[in-house]
């Protein structure tokens, strides 16, 4: 098969890397791609995706924006095989209000909420919530649309900046105000063909920029995947109370969901509750999840795209995996870029894989070109070994002003009593 991957980040590099290893795949094309994907496939930053798709057997979409924009609908109308949700089904991520009211209608566990369409409504609604309180822009905001406000003052300044457009522009003209949920977060991603559900292994993202979950939220500073993140009973509960009702509810509404369904969950004392849905793979969860795959993932996705998501075609190694994101100075507020990166080859010498996110190839070598620069990924026989192996690789890489978290996966270590 020839496969087209849409996107240019670390998630797309991990997809290209894994798909290129599959026996069923002859070529991977990435549009537009990055210097990392250029090493495993062919980048095509110039042709319109619909032109490239004409010559491949399957298209896979990385980021949410093209999905919400209806790329899948347009490709299907042309008869191209593509794996991902339609524009209508992508509203699960494209509109937080859609997602919340869908969950309310289908009894899916989530935080109590109200919707505000003006600053006045938001102020009135805030009176019905205790602190901390969570404020979410309705539309897509590249991870910047959610604020957990610890004080009344912060809540007031956040709703003000949402409605005057200074926080995230038009995406913040409608706001969800919701109850704060305490617990540990889990990323639960499943593949669906609109009917069947095949869960991937659980993973955990680390959204805050600094160790110990301190500082502002980012797109994700690292992730780990370990099957022990959830017990068998918790997995089943998530499938029964979240995944199955979503897939059945979307089908019953005439907008069946096919693609990667990502539930961002808070494991609360009262069970798993949904923080958000994404209609795609997570970044950086994908980097560590795909590192654990032990199957022909392309064959699995090809069948899923044709309506037969088959769990027998999906297999993960037991070994836990870890991805540490190396970020530019100033990230997430104002990343400074253009620094030369050294040591990628040395980092990969012991089996780690360095996924490119924000890089650019220049005559001087690979330089930084975004906030999240690299996702250094490795696995190990235990979580402790996976963490050790990954940080050994991280230490080989250098660019001016770089920063990364040194505690990715550590919560798991204490939970499983590893050292
Ligand atoms: P979201 O994009 O909706 O997943 O929100 C981004 C991050 O904000 C989540 O990963 C959580 O860390 C945090 N968050 C969102 N909603 C809540 C909530 N109701 N209670 C506590 N934390 C939340
Ligand atoms: N890692 C969170 C996300 O992809 O949205």
Ligand minimally distant from the alpha carbon of residue 113? 1
Looking at the chain, the whole-number percentage of residues with pLDDT higher than 90 is: 93
Point out which residues pair with 175 in neighbouring strands.
116, 137
Kindly report the number of other CB atoms within 10 A of residue 304's CB atom.
24
Q: Please state which of the ranges 58-72, 154-168, 351-365 shows the lowest mean pLDDT.
A: 154-168
Residue nearest to atom 4 of ligand 2 (CA): 282
| pLDDT tens by residue, 1-38 | 999 999 999 999 999 999 999 999 999 999 999 999 99
Three-class SS of residue 348? helix
Cα 286 to averaged position of ligand 1 atoms, centre (Å): 19
The span from the CA of 282 to the CA of 412, in Å, is 19
220 Cβ closer than 6 Å to some ligand 2 atom: yes
Residues having CB within 6 Å of any atom of ligand 1: 111, 134, 136, 146, 148, 178-181, 185, 207, 217, 264, 275-276
Question: What CATH topology corresponds to 321-416?
Answer: 3.90.600
The span from the CA of 411 to the CA of 160, in Å, is 35
pLDDT at 217: 86
pLDDT at 182: 95
- Tell me the pLDDT band of 358, cut-offs 50, 70 and 90: very high
Question: What value does the mean pLDDT take over residues 93-105?
Answer: 96
| pLDDT tens by residue, 68-86 | 999 999 999 999 999 999 9
Question: What CATH topology corresponds to 118-173?
Answer: Dna Ligase; domain 1 (3.30.1490)
The span from the CA of 97 to the CA of 406, in Å, is 36
Q: Determine the atom of ligand 2 nearest the C-alpha atom of 284.
A: 1
Q: Average pLDDT of the chain? A: 96
Equal CATH topology for 2-86 and 184-313: no
Ligand minimally distant from the alpha carbon of residue 277? 1
The span from the CA of 221 to the CA of 375, in Å, is 9
The span from the CA of 340 to the CA of 399, in Å, is 6
The span from the CA of 154 to the CA of 160, in Å, is 10
| pLDDT tens by residue, 120-147 | 999 999 999 999 999 999 988 877 789 9
Cα 76 to averaged position of ligand 1 atoms, centre (Å): 33
- Tell me the pLDDT band of 336, cut-offs 50, 70 and 90: very high
Q: Determine the atom of ligand 2 nearest the C-alpha atom of 280.
A: 4
Q: What is the DSSP string of 97-166?
A: HHHHHHHHHHT--B--EEEESSHHHHHHHHTT-PSSEEEEESS--TT-SEEEE-SHHHHHHHHHHHHTTT
Three-class SS of residue 196? coil
278 Cβ closer than 6 Å to some ligand 2 atom: yes
DSSP state of 245: H
Question: What value does the mean pLDDT take over residues 301-311?
Answer: 98
The span from the CA of 8 to the CA of 24, in Å, is 23
Q: CATH code for 184-313?
A: 3.30.470.20
Question: What CATH topology corresponds to 2-86?
Answer: Rossmann fold (3.40.50)
205 Cβ closer than 6 Å to some ligand 2 atom: yes
Domains of the chain, residue spans: 2-86, 118-173, 184-313, 321-416
285 Cβ closer than 6 Å to some ligand 2 atom: yes
pLDDT at 95: 95
| pLDDT tens by residue, 400-409 | 999 999 999 9
The span from the CA of 76 to the CA of 83, in Å, is 10
Closest by CA to 241, choosing from 210, 216, 265, 209, is 265
Listed in sequence order, the residues at least 6 apart from 263 whose beta carbon sits closer than 8 Å to its beta carbon are 187, 188, 189, 190, 238, 242, 243, 246, 274, 276, 277
| pLDDT tens by residue, 236-256 | 999 999 999 999 999 999 999
Cα 178 to averaged position of ligand 1 atoms, centre (Å): 10
Q: Whole-model pTM?
A: 0.96
């Amino acid at each position: 098969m020839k496969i087209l991957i849409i996107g240019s980040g670390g998630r797309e590099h991990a997809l290209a890397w894994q798909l290129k290893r599959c026996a069923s795949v002859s070529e991977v094309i990435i549009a537009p791609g990055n210097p990392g994907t250029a090493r495993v496939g062919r980048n095509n930053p110039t042709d319109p995706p619909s032109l490239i798709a004409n010559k491949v057997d399957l298209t896979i979409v990385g980021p949410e924006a093209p999905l919400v924009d209806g790329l899948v609908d347009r490709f299907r109308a042309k008869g191209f095989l593509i794996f991902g949700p339609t524009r209508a089904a992508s509203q699960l991520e494209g509109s937080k209000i859609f997602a919340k009211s869908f969950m309310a209608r289908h009894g899916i566990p989530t935080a109590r909420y109200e919707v505000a369409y003006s600053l006045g409504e938001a102020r009135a609604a805030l009176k019905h919530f205790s602190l901390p309180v969570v404020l979410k822009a309705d539309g897509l905001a590249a991870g910047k649309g959610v604020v957990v406000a610890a004080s009344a003052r912060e809540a007031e300044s956040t709703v003000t900046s949402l409605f005057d457009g200074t926080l995230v522009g038009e995406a913040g003209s409608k706001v969800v105000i919701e109850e704060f949920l305490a617990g540990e977060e889990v990323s639960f991603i499943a593949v669906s063909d609109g009917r069947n559900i095949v869960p991937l292994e659980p993973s955990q993202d680390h959204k805050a920029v600094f160790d110990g979950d301190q500082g502002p939220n980012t797109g994700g500073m690292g992730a780990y995947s370990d099957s022990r993140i959830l017990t068998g009973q918790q997995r089943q509960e998530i499938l029964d109370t979240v995944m199955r009702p979503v897939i059945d509810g979307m089908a019953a509404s005439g907008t069946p969901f096919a693609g990667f369904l990502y539930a961002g969950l808070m494991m609360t004392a009262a069970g798993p509750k949904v923080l958000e849905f994404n209609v795609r793979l997570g970044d950086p969860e994908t980097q560590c999840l795909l590192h654990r795959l032990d199957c022909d993932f392309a064959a699995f996705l090809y069948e899923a795209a044709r309506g037969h998501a088959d769990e027998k075609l999906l297999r993960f190694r037991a070994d836990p995996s870890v991805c540490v994101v190396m970020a530019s100075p100033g990230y997430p507020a104002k990343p400074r870029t253009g620094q030369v990166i050294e040591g990628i080859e040395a980092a990969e010498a012991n089996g780690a894989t360095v996924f490119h996110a924000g890089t650019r190839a220049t005559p001087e070598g690979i330089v930084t070109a975004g906030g999240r620069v690299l996702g250094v990924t490795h696995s190990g026989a235990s979580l402790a070994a996976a963490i050790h192996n990954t940080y050994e690789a991280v230490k080989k890489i250098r660019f001016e002003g770089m920063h990364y978290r040194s505690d990715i996966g550590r919560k798991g270590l204490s939970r499983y009593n590893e050292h």
